[in-house]
Structure 1
Amino acid sequence: MTTESPGRVLLLNGASSSGKSSIGRALLPLLPDPWFLVPVDAISGMRSTVHTRELAEDEIAAMLNRTRRGYHRAVAALASQGNDVIMDYPLSEPWRLADLLEVLTGYDVTLVDVHCSEAELERREQVRQDRPAGLALSQSVFEHTDRDLVVDTTNHSPEACAQVIATSLARLDSSKAFDRLRARRSAGRPQA
């Protein structure tokens, strides 16, 4: 069976603890079509945690790189069959955006930056206790300087942010941030 058109991709980009996962879960009942919420943490959580030997730092870095590249392609595979996908993923390394621009060529990608104040990120990290202290503040996730939407979870609930996104999706211009970023990249201009 061949799909007539690829699915859409909604990329929730923000620092760890900014509320991406909560927004993604809140979006599912608001969107009229079936969507898959595919957070990168779910992919990482599928990896075995027991190893027969201790991995060196460069081996860990290579494993994480393979995992993230695989995640990009898993999302593309779902969307290639007409599935709409919500990504919960920080663009915290420049190569991640570059790879996604290539892998998701031809797809309707909506880039949503999820902002949160530094004080609130620190507070959430302390409450969660499942991330290294300072991780959120160490992530540079907005260097691309182009996006389709911005929501801020500092003083707004995930449900309120999800409502803004769901309402805005149909009204967004057909020229989206990923298209503009890809055009700048192919023209040899910086992403900013």
Structure 2
Amino acid sequence: MQGKIILVNGASSSGKTTLCRALQAALPELFWYLSLDHYRELGIIPWDRVRSGEFDRQTLRPQLFEGFYRTLPALAEAGNNLLIEHILAPNDYPERLFEVLAPFEVFFVGVHCPLDELERRERVRGDRPLGDARKDFAVTHTYFPYDIEIDSTQPAPENAARIITAWQARPVQENPER
């Protein structure tokens, strides 16, 4: 049996991580929580060496995304439910992500946040280049209709409850390709 997939998309600093943690804690089934940020945080990718210029980020980018995207169907085909946190942006090969996920039923969640709040969060975080949130804000929500959209200025547990309610009420597709 294929795993179920919930894909959470939003701009940098929109609250995706907080929301995904709330979702993983509240979902009635076990979901693996996956994000490219986890690769950085766990040291899977040596970001310090990339940032220093020892390795060229732009050269590595295509294979990084291709590798991440290919892991998702493998995990879902093994029966694992996936909660995927991602930023869909033109330079992150979104079409390829849609291609590898086409055989699966994917529940799409849009995480919205006003631009001024995104930029405030980005400044407070201090771990991202200033301006990333603004760039993402312009393009992140232009790819497809969502199954549910949330406002991340609302409490994460409330948003998680709304998402779970909508996810449980979704029509299950026989042929999930969009």
- Establish whether residue 132 from structure 1 lines up as the match of residue 129 from structure 2: yes
Alignment of 1:41-190 (within 5 A): 41-45=37-41, 46-49=44-47, 51=49, 54-55=53-54, 59-93=56-90, 96-139=93-136, 140-154=139-153, 156-174=154-172, 179-180=177-178
Q: State the superposition RMSD in angstroms.
A: 2.2
* Separation in 2, partners of 1:85, 1:101: 15
Q: Give the % identical residues.
A: 31
Compare 81-90 and 38-47 and name the one that shifted more. 38-47
TM-score by length of 2: 0.87
What amino acid sits opposite 2:124 in the alignment?
V
- Contact 1:44–1:67 under 8 Å retained in 2: no
Structure with more of its chain in helix, by fraction = 2
Q: Which stretches of structure 1, 4 residues or longer, exceed 6 Å deviation after superposition?
A: none
C-alpha separation between the residues in 1 aligned to 2:49 and 2:89? 27
The structure whose Rg is larger is: 1
Separation (CA, whole Å) in 1 of partners of 2:114 and 2:23: 22
Unaligned runs of 5+ in 2: none
Aligned residues: 172
Q: Which amino acid aligns with 1:92?
A: A
